[in-house]
Chains A and B, each alone.
Chain A
């Protein structure tokens, strides 16, 4: 007898039982939702390639191609790379000669500041997390709680004492200052994340290594660390995204030489009295997206992989 298929199954929805790969129907449903998520980002990326007039037209232009006549002519724009050029070189006054905008410097600042503070926090935080997990202090949880208090308040609340502290020690406007500040903020997050990864590991494996002759340092580097690579990757990516996009501290604590892209972006689009230059803003944003996008893309295998490898069953 032929197997009966309901209309839903024919459309690719699996019967609501068991575990396994989803059918085309569900995959499509998820694809649609993902597309809605991606839409704002896509719109910005398209805007970066639009000429001024196309960006401001009503109704908005939606696509760089007519998709073989599928999209009506009035929604199609002609892509241009001009906006990306004017991120780095443009005339600051009407009719003036193009001059450097300094954005190469700001991108460099963002990359250096974000990556060094996240890496620094990862190194210190992972060591600290292992300590908190394996060699608990008296009142361990209190310290962990205190570490987290810096993340409990909006940045605006702690900014004033931080500014005063920076004034006193003379760190305002310096690379060291802003890197240390971000490191401190990322540390809280890193310690909590990494501690939970270390807590999940089997202590027996570490005991076994000790009996086999490994020192405590050896246990950390040879046994514990290889098992939390996924955790390191996840913590790095989340920390990087938070730091990369941070605006307020950067605005108040970076100097002209150490300005990061979010701050510069704000100044670039709101100065000159010509109103907001949307295509320029979109071009900066698109460029700004690339580094984090690449890092996340290359680490995603680690992000998705399980933490332990199933050798220790409980």
Chain B
């Protein structure tokens, strides 16, 4: 079964390095999301896999064959573009049939394939329309239909849902996931939307400044971020990343000076290897429980801003040293602005990052 693999792939535009030593392997039937902020090199990576950009260094291997020097038309791939890239002079049916044109199929065979795909993507009613006469959702489905009409080695999606409104995005996410599951091909999806990545991907590769920071299942990248960037990028609201001084480690507990307060918290044994130093403590907003009084394992803060989010309420709390801590509590937990809070972080959801920003874990 065809796989996609990139080994030490680098792309330079003049003096600017867009992608640096990227390694990634996508198995057949696997969906990998390239996730990162704008300009992190995720689309460039995708375009190098597609052959639309030449890699400056490294190898692009599709279905076991090194593809660096092959143009896109000889890589046997299908791609869905961010802006759909529909053929403006062709109608919907002709758009879907375009990739088949080069396969030398008979008219009847080609028509049958187009009909089948049109049925899957609910486009049978608009086959005769021009691309500018169909809705945004239909354009999106047409772009996917055109990609799946052939039987390529692999699928590439560049921000496939970014142009849809929230509701449509939600339903398309489900539809695309369903279609991809049925096809079991190696698939790479580029997105800047973590929810899209978390819901659609078997694994997520998080990129920043041209470097793949972490590759893991949605669960792994959320529960075990390898560094401060991944920790801050995955999860809404963002993880609290509080600078602290590590004082000592003993009996499975780390003693730190956090926001001007001493805090004793159970930590990974690996933390014992750190010398007393500046560290960053990461705590998810949902990982706090409220204590009645000040204790050795609580952080004191004052509720400053309260944002109801429906099922939950987001509280911005300020510590004595002026730091901001985001806390998510259930809706029924009433908190007033100005109220003093004693927050007890859950040690299992607390992460320690060394001075270099890397997670300290066994």
Contact = CB atoms under 8 A, between A and B. Distances in A.
B57 to A, nearest CB: 22
| Overall SS of chain B's interface | loop
Interface residues of A, number: 22
A301 to B, nearest CB: 16
A168 interface: no
A213 B84 contact: no
B222 interface: no
A204 B72 CA distance: 13
Nearest to B103: A213
B88 A227 contact: yes
B52 A202 contact: no
Interface residues of B, number: 31
B81 A204 contact: yes
Contacts of A223: 87, 89
Given A208-B79, A309-B130, A311-B131, A213 B85 contact: no
Interface stretch (B59-67, B94-102, B170-178, B196-204): B94-102
Contact of B102 (A213, A227, A308, A314): A213
Contacts, number: 84
B267 to A, nearest CB: 49
A312 B72 contact: no
A214 interface: yes
Interface string A199-228: 000101101111111110000000100110
Given A309-B131, A311-B84, A209 B98 contact: yes
A4 interface: no
B247 to A, nearest CB: 55
Question: B77, B83, B88, B139 — which one has the most chain A CB atoms within 10 A of its CB?
Answer: B88
A207 B72 contact: yes
Given A214-B102, A215-B73, A311 B139 contact: yes
Interface of A: 202, 204-205, 207-215, 223, 226-227, 308-314
13 contacts: A204-B81, A204-B84, A204-B85, A208-B86, A211-B72, A211-B77, A211-B79, A212-B150, A214-B73, A227-B89, A309-B89, A309-B131, A312-B88
**Shortest 7 CB-CB distances between A and B: which pairs?**
A213-B102, A204-B85, A226-B89, A212-B99, A208-B85, A311-B131, A309-B88
